[in-house]
Chains A and B, each alone.
Chain A
Amino acid sequence: MEDAVPKQHSRMKHYRKQPLNSFQPKRQDSIWKRVKKHRGLLALMIPGLIAFIIFNYVPMYGITLAFKEFQIRKGIMGSEWVGLKWFERIIQDPYMRVVLLNTLKISLLKLVIGFPVPILFALLLNEIRSVKYMKLVQTVSYLPNFISWVVLAGIFFSIFSVNGPINALVQMFGGKPRIFLSEQSSFVPILVFTDIWKGFGWGSIIYIASIAGIDPGLYEAARIDGASRLKCALHITLPCLVPVITIQLTLQIGGLLNAGFDQIFNMYNASVMRVADVIDTYVYRLGMINREYSYATAVGLMNSIVAILLIWIANRAAKAAGNNYTLW
């Protein structure tokens, strides 16, 4: 990458007979000369640039709503500043604590229980002798990832319904049928389980790819020394996965405040609100149902600031742990 710079320029300007070190920043053409020279290239970026500005940066300006009292007539710009009013309300809002705890509880459960599953699955897949069978299992396991939560929620309503197969199994073992999705004690476990069910296969791809990149010589050497398959998995495969695991873990920790809006929004109902309502669903109802634009924006802003802090801390921790496998 780095040496592409001199090469490119040296070919283009060879007639100038400049010395090799002429590409030091000091002797570079002025920025406007370069803009003029590469205007064709810059022009290609215009549509994307406009899209980024309008649909990513203009809404960022809208965040000022979090410090204003929004009035539809006056618009975002004309509405009056109210300082930290909405953030004070966040602190005083007793329901805020409920949704925050729910969010952390659900995403921590998903992290702790769900994170090792794709790794374990990739390790097990790697042990399958028949390539055909392995491909079959892989292909099937990716499938749920391609189905929208809307449809999956519909399916799970049926699976966990009073007449569904889960209750059939419960009754087979002498239990009483339950309305799983309307009971607070079973709703969160179902969220965690179905989330893992949807994502474990897809999440394993990145580990499978890393396993494929491991030098086979390592395994041969270990086998000659008499290492068992379990030992090979534990002492060769797993350590080779540490970089990927670190990056994935960093990303997941960064997403802790995101408990899975699509899933919860489609699966929750009034009777499990106490345990299932999370920040994102709360923001949605605050904004789109109650039309409390300013407050909803403030909650959303707080959410994304904490999310950025989390990912920064996680990345810092990964660095501090002494490995180079960090996000930036």
Chain B
Amino acid sequence: MGKTVNKVGKKTSIFDIILYLVMAVIIIITVYPFYSQVIISVSSTEDVYKTGLILWPSSIDFSGWKIMMGYRTIWGSYLNTVLRVLVGTSFSVLVTALFAYPLSKSYLPFRQFFTSLVFITMFFGGGLIPNYLLMKNLNLINSFWVMILPGLITGYNVFIMRNFFMGIPDSLEESAKIDGASDLLIFFKIIIPMSKPVLATVALWVGVGHWQEWFSNLLYIDDSKKWVIMMVARKILIDQDFGSMAEATRNLGMGILKGSSNEVQIRACVITATVLPMLFVYPFIQKYFVKGVNLGAIKG
């Protein structure tokens, strides 16, 4: 101890030990709910009803996953979701950046007007019914675009991007302007390459939003072939509507689902199948999200 300059800084105290334990408990509480579902999804139907904290499957049984494999609606909805995430994210980022860049210029005519126009949308909107009627009037009911267009651009994302663009020195654009470059050219050749951090953040933000969203499907899309994964998951997990899923089991000769122990297993499979993709990309995208929160903390 003699050498430590900082008395309070180095010694491991009882407090440190308690802190480590508390954090370990937090990790367990956070992870266990997900973990338990993975275990149930591969447990035999007799074991899914076993009371208690499940730590390890006492038997391995993939019959739930076999039913999942035969359930076409799920795989179709995966495709719909991927398409939605890709199209929705790229359109959103492009339109938002195109809008935010001019807004970052102090010499933009009507700048204050545009800023207010965006600001108001952050606090006030039409609400459920006017939106629903609008989609109906625009003929967007049962259309893929009903998932993309309404959320195409949001005030929050505009301001985050605008704030970032404001930090890019004007001198870079000026020399291009003197060379006769158009605003569009400057935007794509100078601004976009310099703004990768904020573009990545907003893209991931929008992308994860699309991945999680289901309410637009509930409101506007009746055709289950067009549903995204979360909507299909909602049908099974919340409404306990196994409709076409029951059919998949019949084809496999596996009896009916509802109310049976099969149901518990299937539900766990659905949960696992919807959490896993996020779990795979999560470690890579997490840091951009954190960056985004900090970008947003800058007062607009």
- A residues with a Cβ closer than 8 A to B are 1-2, 4-5, 7-9, 11-12, 31, 34-35, 38, 40-45, 47-49, 51-52, 54-63, 65, 76, 121, 124-125, 127-129, 133, 136-137, 139-144, 146-148, 150-151, 153-159, 163, 165, 167-169, 171, 197, 201, 205-206, 209, 223, 227-229, 244, 262, 266, 283-284, 287-288, 293, 296-297, 300-301, 303-304, 307-308, 311
Would you call B164 an interface residue if the criterion is a C-beta within 8 Å of the partner chain's C-beta atoms?
no
Q: How far is the CA of A223 from the CA of B4 in the complex (A)?
A: 13
Minimal Cβ-Cβ distance residue in B for A121: B26
Chain A residues within an 8 Å CB radius of B78: none
A182 to chain B, nearest CB (A): 14
Chain A residues within an 8 Å CB radius of B211: 148
Residue pair B286, A142 in contact (C-beta under 8 Å): yes
| Interface of B: prevailing SS | helix
Minimal Cβ-Cβ distance residue in A for B289: A142
Listed A/B pairs (19) with beta-carbon separation below 8 Å: A35-B110, A41-B108, A44-B101, A62-B134, A121-B26, A133-B20, A142-B286, A148-B214, A150-B230, A159-B33, A165-B52, A165-B53, A168-B51, A197-B30, A205-B293, A297-B128, A297-B129, A303-B127, A304-B124
B218 to chain A, nearest CB (A): 8
Residue pair A51, B153 in contact (C-beta under 8 Å): yes
Minimal Cβ-Cβ distance residue in A for B158: A48
Pick from B53, B99, B132: contact of A47, CB under 8 Å: B99
Q: A163-B49, A223-B7, A288-B132 are in contact. Are A44 and B23 (CB under 8 A)?
A: no
Chain A residues within an 8 Å CB radius of B59: none
Pick from B12, B151, B212: contact of A148, CB under 8 Å: B212
Residue pair B293, A154 in contact (C-beta under 8 Å): no
Chain B residues within an 8 Å CB radius of A154: 233, 237-238, 267, 270-271
Minimal Cβ-Cβ distance residue in B for A139: B286
Residue pair B20, A141 in contact (C-beta under 8 Å): no
Residue pair B51, A40 in contact (C-beta under 8 Å): no
Residue pair B23, A52 in contact (C-beta under 8 Å): no
Minimal Cβ-Cβ distance residue in A for B215: A262
Chain A residues within an 8 Å CB radius of B33: 155-156, 159
Would you call B166 an interface residue if the criterion is a C-beta within 8 Å of the partner chain's C-beta atoms?
yes
- B residues with a Cβ closer than 8 A to A are 6-9, 12, 15-16, 19-20, 22-23, 26-27, 29-34, 36-37, 40, 48-54, 95-96, 98-103, 105-110, 114, 117-118, 121, 123-134, 138, 149-153, 158, 166, 170, 174, 177, 182-184, 187, 208, 211-215, 219, 230, 233-234, 237-238, 264, 267-268, 270-271, 274-275, 278-279, 282-283, 286, 289-290, 293-294, 297
Q: How far is the CA of A5 from the CA of B106 in the complex (A)?
A: 6
Q: How far is the CA of A55 from the CA of B214 in the complex (A)?
A: 18
Q: A34-B109, A124-B22 are in contact. Are A11 and B293 (CB under 8 A)?
A: no
Residue pair A197, B8 in contact (C-beta under 8 Å): no
Q: A56-B125, A151-B274, A209-B293 are in contact. Are A229 and B8 (CB under 8 A)?
A: yes
Residue pair A59, B125 in contact (C-beta under 8 Å): yes
Chain A residues within an 8 Å CB radius of B293: 205-206, 209
Known: A62-B127, A154-B237. 5 other contacts (CB 8 A): A52-B118, A156-B33, A163-B49, A229-B15, A304-B127
Pick from B8, B99, B282: contact of A146, CB under 8 Å: B282
B213 to chain A, nearest CB (A): 8
Q: How far is the CA of A205 from the CA of B289 in the complex (A)?
A: 10
Q: How far is the CA of A101 from the CA of B299 in the complex (A)?
A: 34
B43 to chain A, nearest CB (A): 12
Q: A31-B109, A59-B126, A128-B19 are in contact. Are A150 and B6 (CB under 8 A)?
A: no
Chain A residues within an 8 Å CB radius of B283: 139
Query: Which of B12, B129, B297: most chain A CB closer than 10 A?
Result: B129
